[in-house]
Each structure stands twice: as structure tokens, then as C-alpha cells.
Structure 1
Amino acid sequence: MRDREDIRMCTAIVFTGKKGEAFFGRTMDFSYPLHPQLFAVSAGYQWKGSLGQKMSSEIGFLAIGQEFENLRILVDGVNEKGVAGAALYFAGYADFEKTAPKDGKKTIRGSLDVLPDILGNCSCLEEVEDRARKLAIVGAADPVTGMVAPLHWMFTDRTGRSLVMEKTVWGLDLYENPVGVLANSPDFPWQLTNLRNYTGVTSTQKEEAEWDFLKLVPFGQGAGTFSLPGGYTSPARFVRTVFLKTHVKIPDSRQKIVPECFHIMESVSIPKGTVMTARGTADYTQYTAFMDLQSGDYYVKTYDNYQLLKVRMCEHLPKDGTYQKLGDLEIPMEYASM
């Protein structure tokens, strides 16, 4: 295993509108250039997984990832039934099988294949949970870093309910996610417990305080958020995202939900140069994506292009048991003139 400087920093979130409209999104933060691409996989498509095993999809889906020779690595996506998910780094905690179990009681999947396996075969969160418990997950080397990717996953569906899936030395755990947020290490129960350190954070303004004969007046608005963590560690990003998600004004239309989702994630988006690895490379937010779980539409913006790219599932999902590479997401930005 390589040094911890290769840790990927990502944040994922489920956001639900006033009428129950569910959206799922994530930031992709990495210190290697990813050149993300969008793929459309149809129902009935078959392919070889990272362990060489046969895989198939009963449900069509859209996903973001990369191709490496004959291997396709997918890191987030949404299927035509409204199930969405993302893989995030879980360094120091993820523990997978070294070799495939031979008892034949479970479906064998490489750690890189968990996401497309779930998206291609589950129509609701109950099916995700059932399928996950039947998986034997074998560590598969990530071709970008050359190491076994230490992953955990977050899944959701059109209800807005979400699950966190973590495989550690203690076994496979599926956690109900009451806050609809996931970051990286430590494990999910620790992240929830850590929220108790921030019970004093509030969106309301703090009034002046008196310490004996000394009057202390806040420095303008926002004094209630003073104790929010400001760094880019996983616990800091988790706390900030949960606070913002639970305190923003819920938009009254689907059209307004999309920009609100991206505004929330701006708080944990990492500019180049602010987080440097021991290799001297920048770990930064290479793209941010949100998915409309009702329509399956994808909304994406990349580091160098703040214009939202919208990809409609109904227009791009093939129907003939194949897959299509819809193209690179890194598109040059165009500036509007007035």
C-alpha cells in the first residue's frame, strides 16, 4: 500500500426538496489528473469486472468514470429506477478480501465493481441492502494509483433515504444515514458522534455578552457559525456539509434546487494549492456532480468550467444492451457577452 499522501478527499450528499424531490451529488477531490468521462450503460449490457468475472446490468444507468484499456472505473452514477451512489476513499479503515472466497455462497465482486453492480441491478434501497449483504468484496487495484482502492459507498433512492456501506476488518456494515452526508475516514459512526461537538453552532445571530463589566459585541452577522471547522479534513467537511444542508432555505421548485445543491458543496470544494500532498501535487476538486433521482438527469461542473453541463438520461441511455461513452467532462468554458 502506498503512503497516505494518495488519499482521495471527497464529499457526498442527498438533498430533498419541499415536495420530496431527491437529488444526490458529490465532489471528486484527487491529486492525480482524472480526466472524467460520462458513460451510459443500457439494461442487458455485459462486461468483465476488475477481477475478470462476468458482470451484467438489468437496469440502465449513467455514471462518471474513466477507461483504462479494457477496464472501466465508475465512481458515481444514477440508474433509471432512481437509485444513485458514489464511491469515496476510506483510507486506513477499508479492508477487503485478499482472494475470492471459494464457498460459492456469495457473489464475488472487486472493490472497484461494487458501484456498477449495485446501479445495474437494484431498483430501490431495500434491494441495495439485500444485494450488498450477498457480496464478497475483493480488493482490486486502482489503475490510477496502482494500489487497492480503500473505498466505502453511499447509496440513495427517490425516497431520499440513504445508506452507507463500509467493509472493514470487522466485516460488512450497512448504516442508515440520518444526515444524508458522507465524507472519508474515520468510519461513519464516528462522524455522526463527532457532530455532538458542534451543538452550539447556529444560523441565528449571537447577541452581545457580558463578562463581569466587559461587554463583548459580535463582529457582524454569522457569529453563530464561529465554531464551525474551516479546514478540508474529512471530519471538517462532514460537519460543514451537514450544517449547511440542514440550515439552508429549501427551494420551492426543482429548478432552484440544483443551484442550491452546488452552493452547499462550494463550502467543501478545494482550490488548487490549498491542499498539497507529500509528492508536491495539489489535491483539489476536479468536478462536482448532482443527479436528479426522478429524471436521472446529471448536472456537472468541472474545476476549470463553472458552467453546468446537463445530461438527460432519457436522451442518452442506449436500449440495445450496449454502453456508450458520452464524452469528456472537461469542456472549455465559454464567456457570455453583454
Structure 2
Amino acid sequence: MCTSLTYEDAQENWYLARTMDFGFELGGRPVVIPRHHHFDTDATDQGFDTNYGFVGAGRNLNGYILVDGVNEKGVGAAALYFNESVYAEQPQNGAINIASHEVLNWILGNVSSIADLKEKFSHVNIVAVPNSLLKIVVPLHWIVADRTGASVVIEQQADSVKITDNPVGVMTNSPEFDWHLKNLNNYVQLDPALHSEKPYGKFTANGFGAGTGALGLPGDYTSVSRFIRTAFTRQYAETAKDSSAAINTLSHILNNVEIPKGVKIQADGDFDYTQYRGYMSLAEPVFYMQPYADQTITKVRLTEELLNGDAPVEFPLKTQQRFDEVN
């Protein structure tokens, strides 16, 4: 279970951010994939080639699998769990056949804009093959944004792919994205300001102070509530002046939906928690990763040296002394 959003700063630069909420320890770290890289695929023997270099959170599992990131063209993407996914049972002749856990690699390696994505994705066939780490066919949907602020959600159900423009800049998990948009109609009363006084017979009720406009904002950890909460905070959070301030603001927005260990228990007794938060600066492009155990943010910038490298490069997550004693 995860939460994602887009964001624009005062310089009109766009960002994509996400929480990675999962029970199984994914063990990802920042990874740069250079230009013109070949990926093997679990769907066929052919694999696929990329044009663009990119950076994101991933892991080497007999080949790198990334779950979010940004490419050199300023396209950012994130994969989120989506139980309603239905994928093709067999590869298709003439199609780009890839597994669900490989879609993000293909997008970041081959797409230069949202318009380019809409044109090219019709050639992609997502095949129902298991992921080698999780041992299941991973049900996913994807949020994609480019440096202009354009954003879409990709969902595949009943063997058909739907690419939906994302007017609110938010995505969580099930149900489908269109349902979340309709559900926003139930929360038109939310406001960052105080509610005005209201008469009840001869009695006048007054709010108990600042924050009354947000009464009714859901606070639980379901995907439905996280969508509403993120849409509200994204709408009204201050506009950051630059990239450093934007990453700080995004961190505070995602604080509202971060899941601490132990508070969201699954049916099997395991629990989801926010393993990390990822921030993608689409204009630069730069990837930031902030893990659960140490809130230090690791920053990786795509440079020409990395983009023209011969092989992927992993970066360790930075850590720091958490508490400085002041005498």
C-alpha cells in the first residue's frame, strides 16, 4: 500500500513523491540505469532495450527492478499496489511483452513525456508472470508525470489498459482511480480555514478554533482515506520557493500518510509500514530517498558520466548521528 502525489514549486518546477508502504522487506536503494541498457524480461526471451538513463529505488534480482524513479527527460513514475489488476496470460506477437514488475523500467527507459507515453504504451503487453522476489504476479498500477506537470494513471483490468489523466495529482491503491475521483465529491466541505458560526434554534454554535474546516478529514490508513488526506494537504500546503524547500514540503505532506510499524496489521499477522519515501525532482532531474530507520535523505543527481556509464550504479543510503548532545 502506498501514496503518491505531484507538486509544483514557485519556480514552476514539478515533482513526484511517494511512500513505499509494504510488509515484505524490499531492500531497495538508489540505482542509476545508464542509457541504452538491455533488460531481460520474465515474460519472454527477447527482453527490451532502453534509450534514456534514469535513477530510482531498486534492487538487483538477476537484473535491476525499480519501483519508482525519474529519467533524463524529466519523466517520473512510481508503481503502487493495485489488487484489481488483470494481465494477459500469454505474450503477443509484435508487442513489447513485459511483466508487471518490469513496466516501470520500460517507461523510464523509453518515454520522454506524457504525450510520448500515450503513443507508445499501446504496444506494451503486460503478461501475468511472477516476480522472483515475491513469488507472485505483482498487481500494480502506475502514476507517471513529466516536467510540464502532466500526469496520468495506468491501470490494466480485464486485459485492457486504461491511461487516465490525473487532474488531482494524487494516487494511492485500490479501488480504481476513477472511483477515488468520484469519492472526492463526498469531501467538498473540507477547508483549511475555520468554519463559521451556525445557529441551532436559539443557540449559536461556534467552532473550537483553527482547524475546524478540516473536520471530517479521514485519518485512517486505508487507501481511500489516504487519497482524500493527501489531496487536501496537497491542495492547501504552501508553495515552496525552490527545490530544497519543495522536498521539505513534500516530506511534511507525506508525514500525514506515513505508516509506523505495528499500526496496520494484515490478515496473516504481518504489517505494512512505510519503508521509505521517494522524491523525484523532474526539472533537474534528481532522485531523493528517505528510509524509515533513518530519516536522512540521500540525493542522487543524473550526470552525464552516470548516464553514459557501462553498467548500473548503486548508491548506499546515507546515515547520520540522530541526536547531538548539547551541553
Question: Do both proteins adopt the same fold according to a TM-score greater than 0.5, normalized to the shorter chain?
Answer: yes
Aligned to 2:177: 188
Aligned to 2:323: 335
From 41, 53, 56, the equivalent of 1:60 is 53
Cα distance in 1, alignment partners of residues 30 and 247 from structure 2:
19
Cα distance in 2, alignment partners of residues 333 and 114 from structure 1:
37
Moved more, 130-139 or 314-323: 314-323
TM-score by length of 1: 0.91
- The answer (yes or no) to whether the contact 2:264–2:272 under 8 Å persists in 1 is yes
- The answer (yes or no) to whether the contact 2:297–2:318 under 8 Å persists in 1 is no
Moved more, 135-144 or 22-31: 135-144
> The residue matched to 2:195 in structure 1 has which SS?
coil
Describe how 1:91-240 pairs up with structure 2 within 5 A: 91=83, 93-101=84-92, 104-169=93-158, 171-240=160-229
Question: In the TM superposition, what is the alpha-carbon distance from 1:278 to its structure 2 partner?
Answer: 1.9
Describe how 1:34-45 pairs up with structure 2 within 5 A: 34-45=26-37
Moved more, 136-145 or 17-26: 136-145
Describe how 1:249-260 pairs up with structure 2 within 5 A: 249-260=238-249
Aligned to 1:265: 254
- The answer (yes or no) to whether the contact 1:62–1:317 under 8 Å persists in 2 is no
Aligned to 2:313: 324
- The answer (yes or no) to whether the contact 2:111–2:117 under 8 Å persists in 1 is yes
- The answer (yes or no) to whether the contact 1:44–1:321 under 8 Å persists in 2 is no
Cα distance per residue 1:66-120 (max 9 Å; x no partner)? 222x1432100100110110110101x100011212xx23221111111111101
Give the letter for the 1:241 counterpart.
T
Give the letter for the 2:189 counterpart.
G
Give the letter for the 1:79 counterpart.
N
Alpha-carbon RMSD: 1.7
Cα distance in 1, alignment partners of residues 48 and 195 from structure 2:
56
Describe how 1:16-27 pairs up with structure 2 within 5 A: 16-27=8-19
Cα distance in 1, alignment partners of residues 94 and 313 from structure 2:
33
Give the letter for the 1:134 counterpart.
H
- The answer (yes or no) to whether the contact 1:83–1:156 under 8 Å persists in 2 is yes
C-alpha spacing 1:236/1:316, structure 2 compared with 1 (3 Å): farther
Give the letter for the 1:48 counterpart.
D
TM-score by length of 2: 0.94
Question: In the TM superposition, what is the alpha-carbon distance from 1:170 to its structure 2 partner?
Answer: 5.7
Aligned to 2:74: 82
Question: In the TM superposition, what is the alpha-carbon distance from 1:215 to its structure 2 partner?
Answer: 2.9
Cα distance in 1, alignment partners of residues 128 and 31 from structure 2:
23
**Which structure 1 residue ranges, 5 or more long, are not aligned?**
1-8
Aligned to 1:5: none
C-alpha spacing 1:107/1:74, structure 2 compared with 1 (3 Å): same
- The answer (yes or no) to whether the contact 1:44–1:322 under 8 Å persists in 2 is no
Question: In the TM superposition, what is the alpha-carbon distance from 1:147 to its structure 2 partner?
Answer: 1.3
- The answer (yes or no) to whether the contact 1:318–1:324 under 8 Å persists in 2 is no
Cα distance per residue 1:34-85 (max 9 Å; x no partner)? 22122111112213123243222211100212222x1432100100110110
Cα distance in 2, alignment partners of residues 288 and 130 from structure 1:
30
Aligned to 2:24: 32
Question: In the TM superposition, what is the alpha-carbon distance from 1:315 to its structure 2 partner?
Answer: 7.4
- The answer (yes or no) to whether the contact 1:307–1:333 under 8 Å persists in 2 is no
> The residue matched to 1:172 in structure 2 has which SS?
strand
C-alpha spacing 1:222/1:309, structure 2 compared with 1 (3 Å): same
Give the letter for the 2:140 counterpart.
L
Q: How many equivalent residue pairs? A: 325
Cα distance in 2, alignment partners of residues 75 and 205 from structure 1:
40
Cα distance per residue 1:257-283 (max 9 Å; x no partner)? 110111111111101111011222221
- The answer (yes or no) to whether the contact 1:97–1:139 under 8 Å persists in 2 is yes
> The residue matched to 1:131 in structure 2 has which SS?
helix
Give the letter for the 1:335 counterpart.
F
Question: In the TM superposition, what is the alpha-carbon distance from 1:244 to its structure 2 partner?
Answer: 0.7
C-alpha spacing 1:316/1:194, structure 2 compared with 1 (3 Å): farther
**Which structure 2 residue ranges, 5 or more long, are not aligned?**
none
Question: In the TM superposition, what is the alpha-carbon distance from 1:24 to its structure 2 partner?
Answer: 0.8
- The answer (yes or no) to whether the contact 2:296–2:319 under 8 Å persists in 1 is no
Cα distance in 1, alignment partners of residues 285 and 303 from structure 2:
8
Percent identity, aligned pairs only, is 33
